[in-house]
Structure 1
Amino acid sequence: MAVQDFGQFFERTTGYPPYPYQNALSTTHDFPALLAVPTGAGKTAAVIVAWLWKRLQEQASTPRRLVYCLPTRVLVEQTVDCALRWVAKAGMDVPVSVLMGGTADDPINHRWDVHPEESAIVIGTQDQLISRALNRGYAMSRFRWPLEFGLLNNDCLWVFDEIQLMGSSLLSSTQLQAFRASMGTWLPVHSLWMSATSDLSWLATVDYRSTPEYERLATGDGVLRLTPADLSTRALAKRYRASKQLVASGVRVEATSRGPDARQKSAPHDKPSYANQLARHIVKHHKNGRTIVICNTVGRAVSVYRELSRLASGVDVQLLHSRFRPAERQPLQKRVLAPVDRHAVPGSILVTTQVVEAGVDITCQLMYTELAPMASLIQRFGRFNRAGELATCDESHCIYWVDVPDTAAAPYEKEQLSTARAWLGSHADASPAALESVPLDAPHGDVVRRRDLLGLFDTTPDLEGNDIDVSRYIRADQERNIYVFWRHVPAEVPRQLEQPEPDHSELCPAPLGDEARDFLRTHAWYLLDPLTGAWNRETDERRVYPGMEILLASDQGGYDPGTGWDPSSTVEVDIMALNAQQPDSQNSNASSASSTWLSLGEHTGDVEAEEAAILAALGVAVPVDISHSVMRAARLHDWGKAYPAFQNLIATDAAHSGTIWAKAPPDRWTRSRGPVMRHELASGLAALERGEPFLVAYLAAAHHGKIRGSIRSLPSEHVEKGSARRIRGVVDGTLLPGVTLGGEMLSPQSLSLAPAGLGLEGDGTRSWTDQWCGLRDDPAMGPFRLAYLEALMKAADERASATEQVASPQRGDHDD
């Protein structure tokens, strides 16, 4: 039956009719900026289904990409499952992608990053999404940073869920929205902030509060809250007034010796440990159904889990936190989130951390929570009697809170805990209705400013190979992670390893605190060298910053499948099935390896066809003159492959000689002993010599993400005294052969490295960097628009290459 209105569409997609506020989302021209409704009221369904409906109706004001940003990985995977189910029920062909570290395993036709003209849902944690929006994507190839930076800052509806838990990322989200408004995008980007507990003042960061959008918010325009009509519906009313009794447990956390990751201090011999006291209290009151125990640190959660496993005979005791590899976490999470009959005996006990705070669709009949800031406690209370299934509370059906002394406050501030302790001491009702007027602390942290963003647009590392650390704009100190994975390392512990990229299933988040740094001081570990693609052994843990991928030796431990990341474990770690993809690097030409021979003319034609299709689908979003420049860059982007040094890398036989090749089978590529010639630099320089606009030259040179804001030699690139200057394999003054591309005859060009200098040349020619800064700072272009054009180039190139992989192996054999 044809769907006539949003109500029918929503019910078909979710299985239940929309609440009035959910219906209102579909009727407004634009989405609101702030959605403030209680936990369990269906915010996720409201936004995703309304976006699907608007895309189905082809509303031009609705961005093509829905970017859903969440504070925890548990919630990401739950939201992905919901989105996949709703898309299928809606009968729409919209890919749902989850952003994690490691390599992507989605087929090319389902990858959001190479189909910028199509609808897509992208879901990830604030770590993965905000780092990409700042052009420093965590746990991904640095050469893809500009691609995702461009796409995530154009043509997107950003949804920030559970903003009270986002801290620094919330501040960054508002600043980025302000920068998009002031610096410009090709296609509109809208941000929607959501929470059961929020305050408009939280969004008033230094640049966003001066935008017209915030000024409208301050008047109430763009804010959506529950109305009396919503609260009159039976289901919402039941959730809103659900019985949730608060009781002091009488158990108190002991002081820790150092930091939030430290193990609990040993209790005196005549006194049980904190974990033992809490476990005994839980066992006494747990009768049936599900009990949830929420600790503020993973160390305490593990200790309580071990005590309960010993004491709670016959009960299914579970542990869930953020420091598992996906391979172990996903089946555990599926088991944890499965419904539990509240009358089931003996039931289950889940010991967990902050991972369940943010909107996780789970409920329990008995809860224990350590003292935390009010914003966190309100979210935790939302996991108890979630749908109001319990009519009344008693000692086995209530919320027990556990006091935390100031000396053990981490990862929170002691002032936050003092405020929460005072409130708990005078309140016994934790229903959503009772929590509406609770005052909450505004998030605080470092604020990214315009000059910071402009600095981040350049992805060139400094002369020592270091990058700008953006972690302060994403999370507080105690919450910043590195991503570790385990591989076999020979007994002699070599200085360098050749290993494939990690798959996302291998990566384990580990907090970059004292324990992790102590572990790195005493164990072998490796970092990827972006120049060579090899993993280099490192010894200075001060070089490590959040978001890095670190290779560890499997025989040196550091992980327990049952409890996750554990620096004290010495048990050998099981190695996951290895991904076959080698790391990208400045010296890699892997993208030129193909299952078939492709001439330069053939590949160029394929890329031009893909680029034309993308631009046609985008329509007037990209102006005609800019589209023309993008198409020119598509034609010229691989001209540099005609450079003799590049063609000499291909071992041709008699059947394949005499042709300028763009692609060749993997076994036909010779391994270069020195830096690999960067063909895209030759393409960009040749475009400049031809008199093409700098935008054309830049897009041609930047399509692999390796030549961008500056042109400089690699550390290993040595030139003999008296020899011509050489940068990235291009020798100053040498000739790039003429070719015919797209029916256009391109004459030979002498390549000059003069643009690699700074300032002006003697003839008044501006340097490459100077012209690049001109584009970045031009109000008609700016960083977001420029990166989006880079993304269009890379998308066309990757799509063409993927299509060519399945083409006839004989295709290039008949090219003249």
Structure 2
Amino acid sequence: MTAEFETFTRTATGYTPYPYQSKLAADGLPALLQAPTGAGKTVAAVLPWLHRRLAGEDGDTPRRLVLVLPRQCLADQTFARVGQWLERLDLTGEVGLHLLGGIAAQEGAWRRRPERTAILIGTHDMVLSQALMRGYADTRTMAPVSYGLLHTDTQWVFDELHLLGPGLSTGIQLQLLREQLGTSAATRTMWMSSTRDPAGLGDAMHVPDGPETRRRITHLDLAVERYPAALTEAVAAAHVPGTRTIVVLNSLERARAVHAGLAATGLEVLLLHPYFRASDRRRVLLAATEHSRDLVVVATPAVEVGLDLSSRTLVTELAPWASFVQRAGRCNRHGEHPEGDLLWCTPAEGGDAATARWLTAHEGRAVTPAELLAARVDEPLPPPGPGREDLLSLFDSAPDSGTAAATADRWICEPSDLAALPVLVAWRAWEPATPGTPAGPAEATGPVTPVESTGPAEDEPDPSSAELCPVPLGELRNLPAGRAWLRDALDGRWRPARPSDLQPGARLLLDSRTGGYLPDRGWTLASPVPVPPEAAAPERPAHGCTSWVSLDRHLQETADEARLLLAALPELPTELYESVIRAARYHDLGKCHDAFQEKLRAGRTDPPGGLLAKSKNGAHPLPPYRSPRPYFRHELVSALMLRHDGHHPLVAYLAAAHHGHVRMTVRPRGEEEPLLLGVADGDRTPPVTLSTGEHFPARTLHTATFPEAWTEQALALLGDPGLGPFRLAFLETLVRVADWRASARHDGPPPPPAPASPAGPARRA
């Protein structure tokens, strides 16, 4: 194993692994890995797991690795490094790699291949919120799928546990709950730290010998009354020409101020923080990490973890001990200088007293990573994580379930950190409400000139990932009313954003004429300079269903896909296996309802007879279909039919949950009452006979008492010791993936329009 892993690691990285990394490949990942900064923890987090997974010697190695970085970090470089390793190992076709941080967190392709070996890299706010079914990057209806996969057949690795805040206790508690409540396949957690472990995580591997790099500690005594200016002067004086200096500041506001002050001195200076559009972030990261440059990088705590970035001189504000150790690891990181200079100062609001005492005691000394790892500095433990009842209450993902998305925040971030969680915005150009309205002067600072706007048109497309910029939630709340727009979750139309809409992960459009962004500074609310809309990525060719698909055929194909999927995954108990197959076979029975059949046929000239599941995309676009029952959910009809015919509650639940709308609670939407999700009490369904012999007679649907009875039944499943939340969500996921794959069998580009005849353009019949 050792020789094979050494070859494996050299191929991937170009370097021979450290002995402790080889031991991880031989023995598996422990609960806790303590290693100094610069000791190769990213390699240790990924390659030993990957080698064990591919070698197949340990059939119990989980198929998904989730590498979790602290919230404020830029995960891009770690993602790129792992991608490079996979390319060198020729594994890009075999191992999925997905970024669950920043903008890319909303890319959900990883959910469609649950049988695939995959690496997920993300920040703890995004990943833990998904693990609590309140994903900041998830739509409400997709949250159960992320939840089901993250808690099944997954190896979690948390980097720098002491930077996670409440997320530390949450991650610990989730692992305990998985062990208590059970999962469908083994799921484990490894914690990594560059400081001592006061959390008592148990089974630990200690890596005492790190690189013998040194950095000399010096205190900067700065005048509080002119702090930003004094700090700027100190940085300019400390910078050694021809080398890189890194300045790490605790607030984005101060980072902007010091960046502007240093730029005025003529130094080459970069501002680095998470709030850039993708193309600008890549450009700034590349410029910041180039070697042998005469450069000053002014950064927020985003540089603490996830970036292989080093400097001759590092200036940092006082921070909690774990943060300080990570910042120190960016000074003379690789020993490229005989000695680095680590200068620290106390911001006007003060700082961590325990860290200050240790630094004062070591003033003027050159310290190594091993000394920082061994230091005994008290760090407060976060509050307890969610308990069993908390976890079960979060399982209900309905929008009005009484457990709003915000209720998960306290288990993810400190209250003071919530304002820094990202909302995603894009800039688009619209016509002003009054022709000739000026956009404001083209200066980078100053008050923003209010601009009245018509807002996006009804057919305005959603923003692509190339256009989106993460923005601190707290700063976005300072926008004047009417400057931000979002697509309404119920009717799908663009409308002005309300304060209640400003939640982490929300996607908004801003009028590009009102400013708020500069390419070299990222999100800059005070800038009135019009923002050039980012060129969106080329749209994918239009795809849709290329043929009429009968209801019976789709149900049979979904059951077939469920069998194929289950065959590629760890074996389920027979009862659960059969429940997944039956739910896949019955999930779309509710499409027999007249309201759905009418929707499929509306505007079409060639629909076949019989009950349909999918309509054929024609060569010509159809006018928008306005249903008389806009909130109609066919899966509610499926649930009503299955309950009436006495099918097992688990089969009914899995069938009903396959779009994420009908799960624990069911309530009317908007102003639709007395309808329930578009279904009226007393509606009739026609008889349905499947080719496999099952027959469902015509039924009258009764909705009056359904919500209460359904919730009681769903709660019983949730509390069943043989199911529980983690298994139940995983079974939901299997039915949903089978449905996606069955539908994809008929997807393709629509046929081209018929050519125009000599008599004029082709006309639709």
Partner of 1:662: 613
Matched, 1:8 2:7: yes
Deviation by residue 1:573-607 (Cα, 9 ceiling, x = unmatched): 2323457999xxxxxxxx99524332223322322
Matched, 1:126 2:81: no
Supply the distance in 1 between the matched residues of 2:740 and 2:263 (Cα, whole angstroms): 51
Partner of 2:721: 779
What SS class does the counterpart of residue 730 from structure 1 fall into? Answer: coil
Supply the distance in 2 between the matched residues of 1:737 and 1:532 (Cα, whole angstroms): 29
What SS class does the counterpart of residue 470 from structure 1 fall into? Answer: helix
Partner of 1:224: 205
- TM-score normalized by the length of structure 1: 0.82
Q: How far 1:640 moved relative to its partner?
A: 1.3
Matched, 1:292 2:246: yes
Matches within 5 A, 1:142-181: 142-181=140-179
Matches within 5 A, 1:299-314: 299-312=253-266
Supply the distance in 1 between the matched residues of 2:510 and 2:711 (Cα, whole angstroms): 38
Matched, 1:644 2:611: no
Deviation by residue 1:477-519 (Cα, 9 ceiling, x = unmatched): 2322241413345534569864433333333333333x43332
Partner of 1:334: 286
Deviation by residue 1:747-789 (Cα, 9 ceiling, x = unmatched): 3341433474465xxxxxxx11000000111111111111101
Q: How far 1:404 moved relative to its partner?
A: 2.0
What SS class does the counterpart of residue 477 from structure 2 fall into? Answer: helix
Q: How far 1:655 moved relative to its partner?
A: 3.5
Matches within 5 A, 1:57-456: 57-58=55-56, 59-72=58-71, 75-92=74-91, 93-100=94-101, 111-199=109-197, 201-202=198-199, 217=202, 222-226=203-207, 231=209, 236=210, 239=211, 241-252=212-223, 254=225, 267=226, 274-275=228-229, 277-279=231-233, 281-283=235-237, 285-312=239-266, 315-338=267-290, 340-341=291-292, 347-391=294-338, 393=339, 397-405=340-348, 408-409=349-350, 414=351, 416=352, 418-427=353-362, 428-435=365-372, 436-445=374-383, 447-456=385-394
Matched, 1:23 2:22: yes
Q: How far 1:475 moved relative to its partner?
A: 1.5
Supply the distance in 2 between the matched residues of 1:365 and 1:792 (Cα, whole angstroms): 52
Matched, 1:487 2:487: no
What SS class does the counterpart of residue 551 from structure 1 fall into? Answer: strand
Give the aligned residue type for 1:195: S
Deviates more, 1:657-666 or 1:154-163: 657-666
Partner of 1:733: 682
Task: Provide closer, same or farther for how the CA distance between residues 279 and 505 of structure 1 changes in structure 2, counting only shifts above 3 A.
Answer: farther
Q: How far 1:612 moved relative to its partner?
A: 0.7
Q: How far 1:523 moved relative to its partner?
A: 4.8
Partner of 1:263: none
Supply the distance in 1 between the matched residues of 2:148 and 2:668 (Cα, whole angstroms): 26
Task: Provide closer, same or farther for how the CA distance between residues 253 and 86 of structure 1 changes in structure 2, counting only shifts above 3 A.
Answer: farther
Supply the distance in 2 between the matched residues of 1:438 and 1:456 (Cα, whole angstroms): 38
Identify unmatched segments of 5+ residues in structure 1.
205-213, 255-266, 268-272, 583-590, 720-725, 760-766, 811-816
RMSD (Å) for aligned C-alpha atoms: 2.9
Q: How far 1:672 moved relative to its partner?
A: 1.9
Paired residues of 1:243 and 1:431 also in contact (CA < 8 A): yes
Aligned to 1:475, which of 413, 430, 434? 413
Matched, 1:536 2:483: no
Paired residues of 1:186 and 1:785 also in contact (CA < 8 A): yes
Deviation by residue 1:627-662 (Cα, 9 ceiling, x = unmatched): 111101111111111211111112365542313221
Paired residues of 1:6 and 1:26 also in contact (CA < 8 A): yes
Deviates more, 1:675-684 or 1:297-306: 675-684
- TM-score normalized by the length of structure 2: 0.87
Task: Provide closer, same or farther for how the CA distance between residues 12 and 138 of structure 1 changes in structure 2, counting only shifts above 3 A.
Answer: same
Partner of 2:33: 35
What SS class does the counterpart of residue 670 from structure 2 fall into? Answer: coil
Q: How far 1:619 moved relative to its partner?
A: 4.0
Supply the distance in 1 between the matched residues of 2:431 and 2:404 (Cα, whole angstroms): 28
Give the aligned residue type for 1:349: V
Partner of 1:55: 53
Identify unmatched segments of 5+ residues in structure 2.
434-452, 753-765
Partner of 2:476: 516
Q: How far 1:13 moved relative to its partner?
A: 2.3
Supply the distance in 1 between the matched residues of 2:235 and 2:10 (Cα, whole angstroms): 44
Deviation by residue 1:97-137 (Cα, 9 ceiling, x = unmatched): 1124668897x9xx321111221111111121011001011
Supply the distance in 2 between the matched residues of 1:473 and 1:756 (Cα, whole angstroms): 35
Deviates more, 1:664-673 or 1:373-382: 664-673
Q: How far 1:679 moved relative to its partner?
A: 1.1
Paired residues of 1:503 and 1:579 also in contact (CA < 8 A): yes
Supply the distance in 2 between the matched residues of 1:580 and 1:88 (Cα, whole angstroms): 25
Aligned to 1:750, which of 695, 699, 703? 699
Q: How far 1:46 moved relative to its partner?
A: 1.6
Task: Provide closer, same or farther for how the CA distance between residues 478 and 579 of structure 1 changes in structure 2, counting only shifts above 3 A.
Answer: farther
Aligned length: 717
Paired residues of 1:686 and 1:749 also in contact (CA < 8 A): no
Matches within 5 A, 1:779-798: 779-798=721-740
Q: How far 1:708 moved relative to its partner?
A: 0.9
Deviation by residue 1:168-220 (Cα, 9 ceiling, x = unmatched): 11111111111111111111110111011141x32x6xxxxxxxxx5xx2xxx
What SS class does the counterpart of residue 91 from structure 1 fall into? Answer: coil
Partner of 1:617: 568
Paired residues of 1:276 and 1:304 also in contact (CA < 8 A): no
Supply the distance in 2 between the matched residues of 1:278 and 1:715 (Cα, whole angstroms): 54
What SS class does the counterpart of residue 147 from structure 2 fall into? Answer: helix
Paired residues of 1:646 and 1:679 also in contact (CA < 8 A): yes
Give the aligned residue type for 2:320: P
Partner of 2:659: 704
Paired residues of 1:497 and 1:536 also in contact (CA < 8 A): no
Paired residues of 2:483 and 2:510 also in contact (CA < 8 A): yes
Supply the distance in 1 between the matched residues of 2:461 and 2:189 (Cα, whole angstroms): 37
Q: How far 1:739 moved relative to its partner?
A: 3.2
Paired residues of 1:103 and 1:502 also in contact (CA < 8 A): no
Deviation by residue 1:542-593 (Cα, 9 ceiling, x = unmatched): 66344433433332222222212222222222323457999xxxxxxxx995
Task: Provide closer, same or farther for how the CA distance between residues 382 and 62 of structure 1 changes in structure 2, counting only shifts above 3 A.
Answer: same
Q: How far 1:807 moved relative to its partner?
A: 8.9
Supply the distance in 2 between the matched residues of 1:54 and 1:400 (Cα, whole angstroms): 42
Task: Provide closer, same or farther for how the CA distance between residues 175 and 524 of structure 1 changes in structure 2, counting only shifts above 3 A.
Answer: same
Paired residues of 2:239 and 2:245 also in contact (CA < 8 A): no
Task: Provide closer, same or farther for how the CA distance between residues 625 and 163 of structure 1 changes in structure 2, counting only shifts above 3 A.
Answer: same
Task: Provide closer, same or farther for how the CA distance between residues 468 and 448 of structure 1 changes in structure 2, counting only shifts above 3 A.
Answer: same
Paired residues of 2:548 and 2:608 also in contact (CA < 8 A): no
Paired residues of 1:139 and 1:549 also in contact (CA < 8 A): no
Supply the distance in 2 between the matched residues of 1:437 and 1:421 (Cα, whole angstroms): 13
Task: Provide closer, same or farther for how the CA distance between residues 319 and 281 of structure 1 changes in structure 2, counting only shifts above 3 A.
Answer: closer
Matched, 1:560 2:518: yes
Paired residues of 2:354 and 2:377 also in contact (CA < 8 A): no
Paired residues of 1:252 and 1:404 also in contact (CA < 8 A): no
Deviates more, 1:701-710 or 1:493-502: 493-502
